[in-house]
Chain A
Amino acid sequence: MTANAQPVAAAELVAPPALILDAITKSFGPVKALKGIDLKAWPGEVHAIVGENGAGKSTLINCAAGVLTPDTGTVSIKGETARSQAAQVREMGLSVAFQHPALAPDLTVLENLQLARQDLTPSEAQELLDRVSTKALAMDLSTRAADLSLAQGHVLEIARALASRPAVFIFDEPTEPFQDPEVRHLFHLIAELKAQGTAIIYISHRLHEVMAIADRVSVLRDGDLIETRPAADFTPDEIVNLIVGRPLGQVFPPKGKIGTGPKLLTVAALSGKGFRDVSLAVRPGEIIGLAGVEGQGQRDFLRALAGINPKTSGDIRVDIDEPKPGVANFRRAGVAFVPDDRHAEGLVLSLTIRENEGLGQLAAISDHGLLSARREKELAEQIHADLRVKAPTVESTVGQLSGGNQQKVLIGREIAMKPRVLLVDEPTKGVDVGSRSDIYNKLREMADSGCAVIVSSADGVEIEGLCDRVLVFSRGSVVTELTGADVNDAKITEANLKATGIRDGSDADAGGRKRSAFWSSDQMPAAILVLLSVLVMGVTQAINPWFLSAFSLQSIATLTSILALAAFAQLFVIIKGGIDLAVGPLIGFAVVLSSYLLGEEPPVGYVGGALVVLVICTAVGLLHGVLVERLKLPAIVVTLATYTGLQGLSLILRPSPDGLLSDGYMETVQMLVGPVPLVFVFVIALTLGAEFGLFRRPVGRALRAVGSRPKAAEMIGLQRGKIVVLAFVGSGLFAGVAGLLLAAQVGIGSPTTGVSYTLMSVTAVVLGGAQITGGRGSFLATLAGALFIQSIIAALPFLNLGSVWQYVLIGGATFIAAGLFSQMRKPAKPAH
């Protein structure tokens, strides 16, 4: 045991560490995120890990949680070595409340908690939520996670991690969106857990919180664990210096000399989504900082200045010009913007440095729209040299650079347009110390040269070191303005804490956003579709009295059953977040196989023949699953290929319709139970069983969670891969059953039957209100969708409408339903 891993309390000496990280290294391409981390956590202590953005904290947690596999080194939990699998790690007793909650947005609060503990009752769930937070952030158990506010999402995330009763509990920035009362409530919970002997790892950039609850503190910097000590042995200044790596003065350039010249940027009473009534005037030579707890409107304000978010009232003047709405106009007026998420919004990772730099000023490097390769190269090389980007040439792909160099490419692109206003959101997120210094100096240089520079940062130390003046945001307004010596981390934190009141509007909105249970339920479309089907039949009957008969109703029931099975095959894949184009041809293939195996003299008997068909179809499903999951191929492409391939196979086996099915088989399948076709009874029973499984069993919840947000499902230890393969296997099996029934209906091995079921299955699923991107769907509603389609098809001849109408109506119904549901479920905009 090394000296600096000494536990604090004597009592802990007797217990072995609950978590041991031994020599963990992890690299992403050329970037060494972790350079050999040793860390121990004992039961009954709070071990805080501090470090700036990009120091490697998240990577370290993800390695411990089994989300990432370390390149070298081992993770042991309660003395046992853990393999890098989130599911196993969770079972061994480690759980993480992630900084970005790993929730399934389409599942309810209760269901999200049940993902962590299957048998959790509603009252237990409520109890968990109450332990985590105050009444101010209370939530209904039946609310979908997507409809929660940011802070509520964090409460749920912590409750989920708590639900699995961990021995090692990792909190990653748990208090980010919380106000003071919630923070105190949470600390109370942590004290309780500590008393119960839980080992707690607490990650936060709020130093005062860390000093308040930590027993020991470890400092992480650039992937190295610099120091571990009992918390009492650190002074706050010492920690700051350790975090930054050198005294602040060496990292940050000297503060600016504020000029008296004309205002560079004037913002008057600006309001927009997320912020209101903000005024600001930037003088030459100063850097303005925007600070505040996450989500207080500072980011929205900055984006409004960039022209990305529209303003609702107020004025923005660059010098004396007022830019017209639209990003392009703001850029033309000289407003440059560096977004906080450089991967999503800043850079195109698959393009070269040269091309990325060129994007900033396409007009300047082209003549009449034709790009000048030479001017683009010159521009890129000049930026490259100016910002000291470390890459061999400007032809390197941006995705291969380290975070710091990517950030330099991005800031360089914006600086090169010679802006009058430079807006930087999180200037050094995920950037190493060396590059940080370069970036700060560059920003200061810009301010000195007469450009208005505004920086938004969650890092108080960064604001303190870089900015001349700070606006502290709370609930969308500026609550404090700090200048001169007051610009420091402590004052910013103080201002944050003083900003009283309950959270911003989003919490109050949460109640209003809750739609009525009926409209938001997954079964709602079923009721509507059944009504519509009855309507279609009624109207047709009124026009043509020959329509309704026992025979036509039985025929509708039978065809509905077959289509429902096809649609269930589709639904499995759609819930997991894919699409299966091969459903139709696979059903057709099953028909062709049946014509060989289920004729008058079945080679392996009727039961054997049916089983063979099912096994082959299931195997096709398995093939899809393996290709999609193991080789990470898009489901569309895999099933588009088998869509054609299976048709080819059918045509080879039966170039023309041939091979009659035996009468005995057909009669058995077409049997009636009283007046109702047997298959319809069978499908109804199947629907109810499948619906129960989807909504009430762990495997169904897991399937929906995987479809809802695959990454989150994986992080919390659901076996995503297995579930995806299972969904495709289910799809193959159900297509097989549909094929067996269709064969009895068609009566002959025709190579082209079935193909149309691909579209019809998608239509039935879409009508049933399933979310095409995954996570939501219902077997019951899908069955109702199938009923609606078959009612229309059955009605057409009685209305003297040809097959043209079948194409148009089914296509049109898909269009309308998909568009309608996607509009209805658009995330509601918070009211302002």
Chain B
Amino acid sequence: MGNLFKRNEFRALAALILLLVIGGVIAPSTIRPASISGLLPFAGILAVASIGQHLVIQQRGMDISVAGVFSLAAVVVTAFQSGGGGTLEAMGLVGLALLTGAGVGLANGLTVTRLGVPPLVVTIAMNSIVFGLVLALSGGRASTVAKPIADLAASRVVGIPVPFLVALVLVALVALVISRTALGRRFSVSGLSPNVGLALGFRVELFQVGAYIGAGILFAAAGVLFAGLSNVPTLFAGNDYMLATVAAYVVGGNSLTGERGSVLATGIGAFFLTYLGQLVISLGFDTAVQYLIQAAIVLLGVSLPSIANRLKTA
């Protein structure tokens, strides 16, 4: 048991179960199947974006441009419609959105690796540029999403909401690749200890740039799903995901100081946060309080291990 608790995903799961129990006691309605199934799509969207953030953090970075890319993808699948509304066009728009995300990620990654600018400054600046694009392309107005995307986002496969299903598949896939393949091992080493990777002949830069590209695609995918779900996404919808994606990573018990994290734990963290948000609202608080709680959780999440460490060594 002690050993199990050393693994991030089990700790994250334990924390989630604890939260569900507390939620069940103080607001029983929040754990009814209907409420849970209602928040699954949102948990899925956060999880998809958080995997992207996870990849970048594992390469010693952090991607603030999640907000911009998320919003930009939503704009692409809403403002770019011809009016015909065909499935084929919708697929094209989704492809374009993902490609845009990849492009932003590529620019981020190259600036970080080639020019040696710290990730935070790169992505904070990129975020501003991308929001400029959001405003320019949307003309400053929110519009309605392409219908096939709305239908897809709202549909279920064997009872599971599609956004959540996408998250499940992606979490499983990324976790598998990272922990079970030679590629994943090289990726991990490139992030944990780039110099070791270089001395072993791994293509460290490729993995670092790759992480930003992957993140860009995943942020865009989350934006597309969000657009589909909310029908008329606000232009700044992505802003909420700036802290939330980092929070999901941290709440999953993953360390921000260059240790190996667990994608599964990040996924569970995303669910934890989404449920917590629901709980806060069902207790009658508004989104402002949700911000505060999210901030508190991140601070607690990162401080507790550090405090525990100090107590242990003291």
**A residues apposed to B, CB below 8 Å:** 306-308, 326-331, 337, 339, 344-351, 355, 358-360, 362-363, 365-366, 369-371, 579, 627, 631-634, 636-638, 640-645, 647-649, 651-652, 655, 758-759, 762-763, 766, 772-773, 802-808, 810-812, 814-815, 818-819, 822-823, 826
Contact between B121 and A766, CB atoms less than 8 A apart: yes
**A811 neighbours in B (Cβ, 8 Å):** 125-130, 132
Question: A648-B288, A814-B128, A822-B117 given. 15 additional CB < 8 A pairs?
Answer: A344-B196, A348-B192, A366-B181, A370-B180, A633-B306, A634-B302, A641-B243, A641-B298, A641-B299, A643-B243, A762-B124, A807-B131, A812-B125, A814-B121, A823-B115
With both beta carbons as reference points, the residue of chain A lying nearest to B294 in the complex is identified as A644
**A371 neighbours in B (Cβ, 8 Å):** 180-182, 185
Which of A328, A346, A641, A759 is B124 in contact with, Cβ under 8 Å?
A759
Q: Would you mind naming 25 contact pairs between A and B with Cβ atoms under 8 Å apart?
A: A327-B198, A328-B201, A329-B201, A330-B201, A331-B200, A358-B185, A359-B185, A360-B200, A370-B180, A370-B182, A633-B299, A637-B246, A640-B243, A640-B298, A641-B247, A641-B294, A644-B295, A648-B295, A651-B291, A652-B289, A805-B132, A807-B131, A807-B132, A810-B125, A819-B115
Q: Does B118 interact with chain A (Cβ within 8 Å)?
A: yes
Counting chain A CB atoms within 10 Å of each CB, the highest count among B125, B257, B303 belongs to B125
Give the distance in Å from the alpha carbon of A743 to the alpha carbon of B181 in the complex: 56
Give the distance in Å from the alpha carbon of A805 to the alpha carbon of B257 in the complex: 36
Q: Does B1 interact with chain A (Cβ within 8 Å)?
A: no
With both beta carbons as reference points, the residue of chain B lying nearest to A344 in the complex is identified as B195
**B294 neighbours in A (Cβ, 8 Å):** 641, 644-645, 648
Contact A633 to B303, CB < 8 A, known contacts A363-B182, A812-B125: yes
CB proximity of B6 to chain A, nearest CB, Å: 10
Contact between A369 and B117, CB atoms less than 8 A apart: no
Which of A337, A350, A365 is B192 in contact with, Cβ under 8 Å?
A350
Q: Does B296 interact with chain A (Cβ within 8 Å)?
A: yes
**B306 neighbours in A (Cβ, 8 Å):** 631-633
**B288 neighbours in A (Cβ, 8 Å):** 647-649, 651-652, 655
With both beta carbons as reference points, the residue of chain A lying nearest to B203 in the complex is identified as A328
**B55 neighbours in A (Cβ, 8 Å):** none
**A369 neighbours in B (Cβ, 8 Å):** 181-183
CB proximity of B237 to chain A, nearest CB, Å: 15
Contact A579 to B295, CB < 8 A, known contacts A803-B135, A805-B132: no
Give the distance in Å from the alpha carbon of A818 to the alpha carbon of B126 in the complex: 12
Give the distance in Å from the alpha carbon of A822 to the alpha carbon of B298 in the complex: 31
**B287 neighbours in A (Cβ, 8 Å):** 651
Which of A327, A627, A762, A808 is B121 in contact with, Cβ under 8 Å?
A762
Give the distance in Å from the alpha carbon of A337 to the alpha carbon of B185 in the complex: 20
Give the distance in Å from the alpha carbon of A306 to the alpha carbon of B200 in the complex: 10
Contact A644 to B243, CB < 8 A, known contacts A331-B201, A360-B200, A652-B292: yes
Q: Does B199 interact with chain A (Cβ within 8 Å)?
A: yes
**A344 neighbours in B (Cβ, 8 Å):** 193, 195-196
**A762 neighbours in B (Cβ, 8 Å):** 121, 124-125
**A808 neighbours in B (Cβ, 8 Å):** 128-129, 132-133
The A interface is mostly helix, strand or loop, or mixed, namely helix
A-B pairs with the 8 shortest C-beta distances? A645-B295, A648-B291, A811-B128, A807-B132, A328-B201, A327-B201, A651-B288, A814-B125
CB proximity of B312 to chain A, nearest CB, Å: 13
Contact A348 to B193, CB < 8 A, known contacts A579-B120, A641-B295: yes
**A306 neighbours in B (Cβ, 8 Å):** 199
CB proximity of A416 to chain B, nearest CB, Å: 13
Which of A347, A362, A649, A805 is B186 in contact with, Cβ under 8 Å?
A362
CB proximity of A399 to chain B, nearest CB, Å: 10
**A330 neighbours in B (Cβ, 8 Å):** 201
Q: Does B49 interact with chain A (Cβ within 8 Å)?
A: no
A-B CB pair tally, cutoff 8 Å: 202
Give the distance in Å from the alpha carbon of A819 to the alpha carbon of B121 in the complex: 10
**A363 neighbours in B (Cβ, 8 Å):** 182
Interfacial residues of chain B within 122-163, with CB under 8 A of chain A in the complex: 122, 124-133, 135-136
Q: Does B250 interact with chain A (Cβ within 8 Å)?
A: yes
Give the distance in Å from the alpha carbon of A645 to the alpha carbon of B287 in the complex: 11
Which of B121, B133, B183 is A772 in contact with, Cβ under 8 Å?
B121
Contact between A763 and B125, CB atoms less than 8 A apart: yes
**B202 neighbours in A (Cβ, 8 Å):** 328
Which of B122, B250, B292 is A645 in contact with, Cβ under 8 Å?
B292
CB proximity of B194 to chain A, nearest CB, Å: 10
Counting chain B CB atoms within 10 Å of each CB, the highest count among A360, A762, A819 belongs to A819
Contact between B126 and A640, CB atoms less than 8 A apart: no
Give the distance in Å from the alpha carbon of A649 to the alpha carbon of B125 in the complex: 26
Give the distance in Å from the alpha carbon of A640 to the alpha carbon of B193 in the complex: 25
Give the distance in Å from the alpha carbon of A222 to the alpha carbon of B99 in the complex: 58
Contact between A812 and B129, CB atoms less than 8 A apart: yes
Contact between A648 and B185, CB atoms less than 8 A apart: no
Contact between A814 and B132, CB atoms less than 8 A apart: no
Contact between B199 and A637, CB atoms less than 8 A apart: no
CB proximity of B174 to chain A, nearest CB, Å: 15
**B88 neighbours in A (Cβ, 8 Å):** none
With both beta carbons as reference points, the residue of chain B lying nearest to A771 in the complex is identified as B118
Q: Does B4 interact with chain A (Cβ within 8 Å)?
A: no
**A766 neighbours in B (Cβ, 8 Å):** 121
Interface string of B262-288 (1 = CB under 8 A from A): 000000000000000000000000111
Q: Does B39 interact with chain A (Cβ within 8 Å)?
A: no
**B120 neighbours in A (Cβ, 8 Å):** 579, 636
With both beta carbons as reference points, the residue of chain B lying nearest to A579 in the complex is identified as B120
CB proximity of B127 to chain A, nearest CB, Å: 7
CB proximity of A818 to chain B, nearest CB, Å: 4
With both beta carbons as reference points, the residue of chain B lying nearest to A638 in the complex is identified as B299
Contact between B192 and A772, CB atoms less than 8 A apart: no
**B290 neighbours in A (Cβ, 8 Å):** 648
Give the distance in Å from the alpha carbon of A632 to the alpha carbon of B307 in the complex: 10
Give the distance in Å from the alpha carbon of A358 to the alpha carbon of B186 in the complex: 11
CB proximity of A358 to chain B, nearest CB, Å: 7
CB proximity of A339 to chain B, nearest CB, Å: 6
Contact between B289 and A807, CB atoms less than 8 A apart: no
CB proximity of B60 to chain A, nearest CB, Å: 11
Contact between B201 and A815, CB atoms less than 8 A apart: no
Give the distance in Å from the alpha carbon of A629 to the alpha carbon of B289 in the complex: 27
Contact between A637 and B250, CB atoms less than 8 A apart: yes
With both beta carbons as reference points, the residue of chain B lying nearest to A342 in the complex is identified as B196
Contact between B243 and A818, CB atoms less than 8 A apart: no
Give the distance in Å from the alpha carbon of A636 to the alpha carbon of B60 in the complex: 12
Contact between A351 and B198, CB atoms less than 8 A apart: no
With both beta carbons as reference points, the residue of chain A lying nearest to B115 in the complex is identified as A819
Contact A634 to B299, CB < 8 A, known contacts A366-B181, A366-B182, A811-B125: no
**A819 neighbours in B (Cβ, 8 Å):** 111, 115, 117
Contact between B292 and A810, CB atoms less than 8 A apart: no
Give the distance in Å from the alpha carbon of A504 to the alpha carbon of B26 in the complex: 74
Counting chain A CB atoms within 10 Å of each CB, the highest count among B62, B131, B186, B288 belongs to B288
Which of A326, A328, A331, A348 is B196 in contact with, Cβ under 8 Å?
A348
Contact A346 to B111, CB < 8 A, known contacts A371-B180, A579-B120, A762-B121: no
Give the distance in Å from the alpha carbon of A640 to the alpha carbon of B291 in the complex: 11
Q: Does B260 interact with chain A (Cβ within 8 Å)?
A: yes
